[in-house]
Amino acid sequence: MQNIKVHQVGKILDASTSAEEQAAILAILDQNENVALDLSHCTYVSSAGLRVMLYSFKVAKSKKLVLYLVRVSDDVKDVMKMTGFDKFFTYFNTVDECLKS
């Protein structure tokens, strides 16, 4: 079983924060660890933020790793459903639930 490292996403995932968030996620993937993105504090995801998640998902998949989403708000889930991005990810209600999976 591979390790899962938790990354706490900030309150807003948009063009102003996406480069920093993406760098942090890729750094975890470069350590050959799965990533659990904890979105419990994230209230807004723009198209730039969605690109970060999708790109990170693709990088993880290419490394045979997984990117999980944890504690995603209903508003963010709605945006992901509208764009079809929800089909790419495995969702968990809590970090503990994700780590025990």
Read off the pLDDT of each residue in 27-46 and give the average, rounded to a whole number: 95
Q: Over 70: is that where the pLDDT of 57 sits?
A: yes
Please tell me the distance from the alpha carbon of residue 6 to that of residue 50, in angstroms, as a whole number. 18
User: Domains of the chain: which residue ranges?
Assistant: 4-96
> Which tens digits make up the pLDDT trace of 84-99?
988 989 999 999 999 8
Please tell me the distance from the alpha carbon of residue 47 to that of residue 79, in angstroms, as a whole number. 9
Which H, E and C letters describe 10-58, residue by residue? CCEECCCCHHHHHHHHHHHHHCCCEEEEECCCCCEECHHHHHHHHHHHH
Average pLDDT, the chain: 93
Taking domain 4-96, whether its CATH number is 3.30.750.24 is answered by: yes
The two most distant CA atoms of the chain are separated, in Å, by: 35
Give the pLDDT confidence score for residue 2 in this predicted structure.
63
Q: Over 60: is that where the pLDDT of 15 sits?
A: yes
